[in-house]
Amino acid sequence: MNIQQPTKRLWINAYMLMFIVHTAQTGVGIVGMPRVVFLESAQDAWISVMIGSLVAIPFAYVIYYTLKPFGRLDLYAIHDIIYGKWIGKLLNFFYAFYLSWVFFNIVMNYIEMIQAWVFNLLPTWLMFLLLAALAIYAVQGGLRVVTGVTILSFLLSTWLVFMIAVPIQYIETTQYFPLFNHSFKEMMMATLKTSYTILGFEILFFVYPFVDDQKKTMRYVNIALIYTTIQITLVTIVCIGFFSDVSLEKTIWPVLSMFKIVRLPNLERFEFIAVSFWMLVILPNLALYLWAASRGVRHVFNIPQKYAVWIIVTVGFVAQYFLDSRLIMNLITDKLATTGMYMSFIYPVIIFLLVRIHLYRKKGAKPNEKSTNN
């Protein structure tokens, strides 16, 4: 079985995983997440968000211990080893499709934001091409360039976090009560609603083989996951206190709506700046998912990755013509959130167990192989 491994010149430092995992998680989902969770558990929404985000940590360990025995192999190669050629190809195709779907969904959700807040008449196809061109440019440079985009994006967009200090001044503390007023089932339903926002840590399945000092992987992944937890919990707490119950239930993108009250000299509509800068936030998502998906297409069809990138983008460009309503977009996003939950929380456990069985059987087979050779 011919399985390619990344050469040393393509490796990245372990600390860069902090930026990769955090930026992969932070995208379009966070701007609407507080409302979605609030609909399920109201004042307890911030607790559900915190639980849902922290749950990602043990599953990141599951991914790490799945990859660790294989060193420089990613999930696509592991599928080939565990399932064999044809079933492995089928699963790799499905994973590449899922990653392409995430890429497409992020693009379309951001275009919707742009059209709703800034340019109402901007053609969807034009914005799709502009965003896809930026992602393609990054992916064609390889993972090191994609990592550079994630770091640059993080540094240039961090100031947006501090703008939340403005709505904090208008928080009404009575909005947080009563606390713990929901059943366990309602809390779990709300926690499931956070799945779309906290997706992204599964990118470790594909980035890990490129990490130089792999022993330090979980140190930096944990930092990224904890930072994301703090960030989205804080945003949810502020949204609950800032909006009334009815207002939050009706506001599709509460995080952007909060920016409306920010006033700067000679700038009345700060949210225009926020929406435009959000492109820096989603660009690493696009580049990372397109990179991982194109590696899958390359692996399945044995074609160069530079061609796989164009295939994914072309299919997405055609698909965007069939999305002409908010209802369809919501349906696709909900389906993706459900699929993402299985791909990030259920399937890693399954492949982990299968890898353990494979390693156990391989270890048990060694004496027989040795005796046969002798």
Give, as one character, the DSSP assignment of residue 343. I
Q: What is the mean pLDDT of residues 146-162?
A: 87
Q: What is the mean pLDDT of residues 157-168?
A: 83
- pLDDT for 278 equals 87
- pLDDT for 372 equals 37
Q: Residue 293 corresponds to which tokens in the numbers above? A: 């998906």
Which of 301, 338, 308, 350 has the alpha carbon at shortest distance from 102?
A: 338
Q: What is the mean pLDDT of residues 347-374?
A: 75
- pLDDT for 331 equals 86
Q: What separation in angstroms does the CA of 140 have from each of 3, 96, 296, 306, 317?
A: 21, 17, 15, 6, 18
- What contacts 24+ positions apart, CB below 8 Å, involve 276-280? 276/118, 277/156, 277/157, 277/160, 278/28, 278/31, 278/110, 278/113, 278/157, 278/160, 279/110, 279/131, 280/153, 280/156, 280/157
- pLDDT for 211 equals 95
Bridge partners of 12, per DSSP, are: 211
pLDDT digits (tens, 9 = 90+) for 335-351: 888 898 898 899 999 99
Query: Does the domain formed by 8-348 have CATH 1.20.1740.10?
Result: yes
Angstrom distance (rounded) from CA 274 to CA 279: 9
Q: With contact defined as beta carbons under 8 Å apart, do 163 and 262 qualify?
A: yes
- pLDDT for 369 equals 43
pLDDT digits (tens, 9 = 90+) for 84-123: 989 999 999 999 999 999 999 999 999 998 988 888 888 9
Is residue 294's pLDDT more than 60?
A: yes
Q: Residue 129 corresponds to which tokens in the numbers above? A: 């091409």
Is residue 292's pLDDT more than 90?
A: yes
Q: Residue 335 corresponds to which tokens in the numbers above? A: 């389906």
Which among 21-30, 93-102, 256-265 has the top mean pLDDT? Answer: 93-102
pLDDT digits (tens, 9 = 90+) for 8-22: 888 999 999 999 999
Q: Provide the mean pLDDT of the chain.
A: 88
Q: What is the mean pLDDT of residues 41-50?
A: 90
pLDDT digits (tens, 9 = 90+) for 174-209: 888 888 888 888 888 888 888 778 888 999 999 999
Is residue 318's pLDDT more than 60?
A: yes
Is residue 150's pLDDT more than 90?
A: yes
pTM of the entire predicted model: 0.92
User: What residue spans define the domains of the chain?
Assistant: 8-348
- pLDDT for 184 equals 85
pLDDT category of residue 373 using cuts at 50, 70 and 90: very low
